[in-house]
Amino acid sequence: MAIQFTDQNVSEIIESGKPVLIDCWATWCGPCVRMSPIIDEVAEELGDKAAIGKYNIDEQNDLTAQYRIMSIPTILIFKDGKLVERLAGSQPKATLIEKMNALI
């Protein structure tokens, strides 16, 4: 299951050293809602090899401000605590799996 990223846990998870994928989303965003099951599937498929989850921009705002999230869905991908990729808009599962496998 996908992690629910919050302002309290997101920095610690990013700094964990393992690859991290964060889906920045909101409940009112249609494309975000359609991405939700894809994020869950990616999290299930990759298991403990990576931290995969969702960050609700309406409930949390540290990451939103830090990375200047202006449109959603936005996918942030981290490796060794550093942002290595930023994807705007809905993404197919295969793309997300491919990008994460390249970091594992």
Catalytic residues, by residue number, are 29, 32
Based on DSSP, count helices (H) and strands (E) in the chain, helices before strands.
4, 5
Is the bond preceding residue 73 a cis peptide, omega within 30 degrees?
Answer: yes
Cα R_g (the chain), whole angstroms? 12
Strands of the chain (E only): list them: 3-5, 20-25, 51-56, 74-79, 82-88
